[in-house]
């Protein structure tokens, strides 16, 4: 075995499954100024901040569109206002709505006539006055009339009329071209997509409405930093302050910066976060027994890889680790260490030289 540059004899014990041991007695350690310190388990630590964009979750986002073609006469709310489910948002003057109401009333009248005919023929059949065939034909016409009424009712509902308005139409037979567009949910108006006086077609967008608690963060994480990130990992934003957790980790690599899209859900009870806002998000480290804090001087870089030297009796064992976060005087690393493990923090140059020489 070769002698080290420092004049000390080192023995290496290596195998396929274990890293080589650098054996050195206590006197040599003292002579070379080799000291150690215990690794500190990290129960809660936060990694580097990554850019993130705030988005409204898909399930909390709706576009309010025109249920019928016509003239948009009024808009009751504007961008940024809070709205409630059922609140009137806009008014449309729609001749097409008058036609739908007329068809519904005609269908309802035919249904009443068919119902009366069915009741009469049922009685006549029971008395043996009419044949079975005539009764079946009458019942078929009644079924058809009832189906048509339901179809016309659905058309009115799709046109924006609620049950109260339909009942009023049935009772009063008063046709109206005024259509009120109502909010489908509680939320905030994110965008106004039309203007009063505009002629709009059916399904033309008028407003975009969203619920702003919780929100999504779309975080761009470099591919080399992705290890250990999974659904459930905690996320925090310092300004404005909020916390949450990861819900999905993307599978696609974005070519511009070789990053992966990580989506997190965060609380937003005070509406401090706003859709479209860019923030800095930090991902949690540790909490699973694999994150440790070490002094910066304990880290060795060999052939582009990162190592620490673990004290093992009277020897030191190189262990490859990964840096998850950097602090002013220390590093957060991930690796198979254990509570109480001692890492070399001085004299590491001698140990590194001996390791490479061996």
Structurally, the chain folds into a number of domains equal to: 3
Distance CA 94, CA 53 (A): 40
Residue 60 φ/ψ, nearest 5 degrees:
-110, 15
* Overall average pLDDT of the 258-275 stretch: 90
Residue 14's pLDDT is 34
Residues with Cβ within 8 Å of residue 333, at least 6 apart in sequence: 291, 292, 293, 294, 299, 306, 308, 321, 322, 323, 324
* Overall average pLDDT of the 296-321 stretch: 89
Residue 229's pLDDT is 84
pLDDT in tens, 47-71: 778 899 999 999 999 999 998 888 9
Is 153 found in the same domain as 77? Answer: yes
How far is residue 303 CA from its own chain's centroid? 39
Residues with Cβ within 8 Å of residue 43, at least 6 apart in sequence: 286, 287
What CATH number should be reported for the domain holding residue 130? 2.40.50.100
Among 191, 210, 229, residue at a domain's last position = 210
Answer whether residue 4 shows pLDDT above 80: no
11 band by pLDDT with thresholds 50, 70 and 90: very low
What CATH number should be reported for the domain holding residue 261? 2.40.30.170
- Residues 43 and 332: beta-carbon distance below 8 Å: no
Distance CA 233, CA 291 (A): 14
Among 154, 183, 210, residue at a domain's last position = 210
87 band by pLDDT with thresholds 50, 70 and 90: very high
* Overall average pLDDT of the 239-266 stretch: 88
Range in 136-150, 203-217, 218-232 with the lowest mean pLDDT? 218-232
- Residues 100 and 158: beta-carbon distance below 8 Å: no
Q: What is the CA radius of gyration of the chain?
A: 37
Residue 44's pLDDT is 66
- Residues 223 and 250: beta-carbon distance below 8 Å: no
Nearest to 47 by CA among 322, 278, 261: 322
176 band by pLDDT with thresholds 50, 70 and 90: confident
* Overall average pLDDT of the 72-82 stretch: 93
**In-domain check, residue 149:** yes
* Overall average pLDDT of the 157-180 stretch: 84
Q: Which domain holds residue 326?
A: 12-44+290-357
Who wins on pLDDT, 176 or 17?
176
Of the CA atoms within 13 Å of residue 195, those in its CB half-sphere come to 0
Q: Is the pTM for the entire model greater than 0.75? A: no
Is 202 found in the same domain as 133? Answer: yes
Is 136 found in the same domain as 173? Answer: yes
Is 315 found in the same domain as 196? Answer: no
Is 121 found in the same domain as 68? Answer: yes
17 band by pLDDT with thresholds 50, 70 and 90: very low
239 band by pLDDT with thresholds 50, 70 and 90: confident
One-letter-per-residue 3-state SS of the chain: CCECCCCCECCEECCCCCCCEEECCHHHHHHCCCEEEECEECCCEEEEEEEEEEECCHHHEEEEECCCCEEEEEECCCCCCEECCCCEEEEEECHHHHHHHHHHHHHHHHHHHHHHHHHHHHHHHHCCCCCHHHHHHHHHHHHHHHHHHHHHHHHHHHCCCCHHHHHHHHHHCCCCCEEEEECCCCEEEEEECCCCCCEECCCCEEEEEECCCCEEEEEEEEHHHCCCCCCCCEEEECCCCEEEEEEEEEEEEECCCCEEEEEEEECCCCCCCCCCCEEEEEEEECCCCCEEEEEHHHCEEECCEEEEEEEECCEEEEEECEEEEECCCEEEEECCCCCCCEEEEECHHHHHHHHHHC
289 band by pLDDT with thresholds 50, 70 and 90: low
**In-domain check, residue 67:** yes
Answer whether residue 261 shows pLDDT above 60: yes
Nearest to 38 by CA among 330, 358, 357, 355: 330
Is 200 found in the same domain as 68? Answer: yes
Average pLDDT, the chain: 85
Range in 35-49, 131-145, 311-325 with the lowest mean pLDDT? 35-49
Residue 307's pLDDT is 92
Residue 163's pLDDT is 83
């Amino acid at each position: 075995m070769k002698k080290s540059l420092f004049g000390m004899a080192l023995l290496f014990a290596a195998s396929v499954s274990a890293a080589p041991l650098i054996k050195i007695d206590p006197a040599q350690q003292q002579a070379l100024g080799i000291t150690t310190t215990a690794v500190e388990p990290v129960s809660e630590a936060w990694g580097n901040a990554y850019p993130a964009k705030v988005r409204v979750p898909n399930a909390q986002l709706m576009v309010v569109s025109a249920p019928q073609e016509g003239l948009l006469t009024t808009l009751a709310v504007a961008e940024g206002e809070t709205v409630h489910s059922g609140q009137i948002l806009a008014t449309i003057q729609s001749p097409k709505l008058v036609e739908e109401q007329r068809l519904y009333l005609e269908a309802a009248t035919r249904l009443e006539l068919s119902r009366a005919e069915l009741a009469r023929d049922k009685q006549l059949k029971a008395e043996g006055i009419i044949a079975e065939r005539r009764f079946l034909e009458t019942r078929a016409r009644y079924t058809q009339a009832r189906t048509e009424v339901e179809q016309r009712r659905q058309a009115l509902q799709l046109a924006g009329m609620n049950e109260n308005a339909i009942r009023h139409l049935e009772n009063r037979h008063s046709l109206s071209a005024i259509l009120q567009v109502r909010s489908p949910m509680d939320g905030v108006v994110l965008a106004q997509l039309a203007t009063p006086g505009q002629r709009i077609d059916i399904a033309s967008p008028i407003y975009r409405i969203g619920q702003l608690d919780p929100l999504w963060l779309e975080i761009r994480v470099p591919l080399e930093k992705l290890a250990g990130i999974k659904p459930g990992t905690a996320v925090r934003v310092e300004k404005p302050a909020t916390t949450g957790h990861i819900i999905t980790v993307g599978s696609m690599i974005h070519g511009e910066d070789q990053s992966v899209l990580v989506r997190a859900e965060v609380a937003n009870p005070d509406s401090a976060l706003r859709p479209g806002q860019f923030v800095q998000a930090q991902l949690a480290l540790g909490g699973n027994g694999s994150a440790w804090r070490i002094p910066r001087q304990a880290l060795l870089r060999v052939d582009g890889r990162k190592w620490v030297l673990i004290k093992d009796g009277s020897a030191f064992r190189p262990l490859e680790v990964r840096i998850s976060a950097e602090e002013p005087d220390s590093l957060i690393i991930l690796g198979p260490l254990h509570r109480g493990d001692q890492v070399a923090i001085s004299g590491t140059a001698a140990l590194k030289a001996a390791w490479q020489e061996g």
